Amino acid sequence: MRGCIHTIEESPLPRRYKQAMWIGVFAGLLSFIAVTLLSDVSQLAKYVRSFPWVVMLPVLALRVGNWAIRCAKWFFLLRLVGVRNLSVRDGVSTFIAGLAMAISPGKLAEFIKCFIVKNLTGAPVPTTIPTILAERVTDGAAVVLLLVLSIAATAKPEYLPGVALGIASNVALLSVLAYRPLCLFILRLVERFPLLRRFVGAFRTLYESSYILFRPRNYLTAVSTGLASSTLDGIGMWIILVALGQPPTMQTFFVGLLAICLSVVTGSISGMPGGAGVSDLTIAGVLIFQLGLAPSEAGFATLLARFTQSWWGVLVGLAVAVLDRKRLFPPALATLIEAEDRALANPAAV
């Protein structure tokens, strides 16, 4: 861990990215402490001693499967916007290292992947930024669909408002992007404002990539991979619940899937680093009210689920960042980021 911390501090990442990552680390730590205290430490200790820890191996393996599917989707999105010269090794390393950055507020630091791809392939940053957005939107759409399935299976209509919000946001985004004349009209309006005119080139590049990524066929393909990856998380939650003594039924599976998917939605809406606190409370609340788990038992299950969802990726991502730091985070990356920042601030001068 000391090596990982050293890598963060000594990496060429701008201060804002480092600060965002540290905020995520501390928020996650505070969330862990809060869940532990609320769950009764003495009761948690009993679960720690009696839990069959070997079952965490397939749970963590399922999460790795989730990453593999999402990484394949990222390659697919990159190819759609014209990035075809990124090697499999570099792409996988970049994606896995990016998992450590997902703990930042709003996953801000995850956009560093675009700068790494620029450094490795020369692909313009405005061209690849929409791939990060498309990842989130399509994963979110998949989660919403799985929420609908879980609610139908568990007959819990009280969760429908969250589903409606997710569906509405996806429909609104797709409607705007799909209606090309409207977007081009907005860009023409932007050109009329002196303060915004200089950004039109970057905005147009962003839009052209977004338009390609969110065309119906591409969007549905990306959402399908999101369904597969999120389902693996649901299976992992089911394994944890069964190990805690819950019946190995489809009802248990759908409640676990409901807890995981709803935690993703609430965590995303909150904007908290990695959904810290909000996602934890969501999982614990669903398990308490839907399965009748005691607060300490629900808290223990929540800690296991959240470690699998967030901190497992952070640890593996940091390990990859350390091992491949010369390739992913060379000194040239800092120069590139500074140049991109200057270009955005004063595109006419570049």
Distance CA 216, CA 220 (A): 6
Rounded CA gap, 99 and 153, in Å? 31
3-state secondary structure 248-280: CCHHHHHHHHHHHHHHHHHHHHHCCHHHCCHHH
The pLDDT assigned to 346 comes to 56
Residue 41 or residue 70, greater confidence? 70
Most confident of 6-15, 69-78, 149-158, 199-208: 69-78
For the segment 204-209, the average pLDDT, to the nearest whole number, is 61
> What are φ and ψ of residue 294, in 5° steps?
-65, 150
Is residue 1 predicted with pLDDT exceeding 50? no
Residue 142's CB is within 10 A of a number of other CB atoms, namely 22
Given pLDDT bands bounded at 50, 70 and 90, which one contains residue 5?
Answer: very low
For residue 84, pLDDT over 80 is answered with yes
Q: Does the CA dihedral 41-255-257-163 come out positive or negative? A: negative
**Whole-number Cα distances in Å, 22 to 15, 113, 269:** 11, 18, 21
The predicted pLDDT at position 160 comes to 62
| Per-residue tokens: 186 | 């907005």
pLDDT tens-digit profile of 283-309? 888 898 888 888 888 889 998 998 998
Considering just the CA atoms, what is the radius of gyration of the chain in Å?
Answer: 21
Residue 234: pLDDT band (50, 70, 90) is very high
Distances (CA, A) of 334 to 17, 21, 119, 216, 291: 12, 17, 10, 37, 50
Give the pLDDT mean for 114-142: 86
Contact at 8 Å (CB) between 101 and 107? Answer: yes
Percent of the chain at pLDDT exceeding 70: 66
Looking at residue 350, what is its pLDDT?
43
**Pair of tokens at residue 99:** 């998992």
Out of 72-76, 209-213, 220-224, least confident range: 209-213
pLDDT at residue 235 tops 50? yes
Report the residue count for the chain. Answer: 350
Report the number of secondary-structure helices (H) and strands (E) in the chain: 18, 0
Q: Is the pLDDT of residue 342 over 80?
A: no
First to last CA, the chain: 40
CB of 257 within 8 A of CB of 237?
yes
Does residue 270 have a pLDDT over 90? no
CA angle 6, 11, 16 (to 5 degrees): 105
> Which of 182-186, 226-230, 242-246 is predicted least confidently?
182-186
Mean pLDDT for the chain?
78
pLDDT tens track for 127-140: 888 888 888 888 88
CA distance 27 to 110: 17
pLDDT(251) > 80: yes
DSSP 308: I
Q: How many CA atoms lie within 13 A of 238 on its CB side?
A: 19
Residue 76 has pLDDT above 90, yes or no: yes
How many other C-beta atoms can be found within 10 angstroms of the C-beta atom of residue 180?
Answer: 10
Give the pLDDT band (50/70/90) at residue 10.
low
- Give burial (CB, 10 Å; 0-12/13-18/19+) of 174: middle
- With a cut of 80, say whether residue 51 has pLDDT above it: yes
Query: What tokens does 190 get?
Result: 């932007």
C-alpha span between 282 and 287 (Å, rounded): 9
The answer, yes or no, to whether residue 244 has pLDDT greater than 80, is yes
- C-beta neighbour count of 121 within 10 angstroms: 18
CA–CA separation, 18 and 22 (whole Å): 6
Residue 275 has pLDDT above 90, yes or no: no
| pLDDT of 54 | 95
In percent, the amount of the chain with pLDDT more than 90 equals 24
Across the range 64-84, mean pLDDT stands at 93
Return the amino acid letter for 237.
Answer: M
pLDDT at site 3: 45
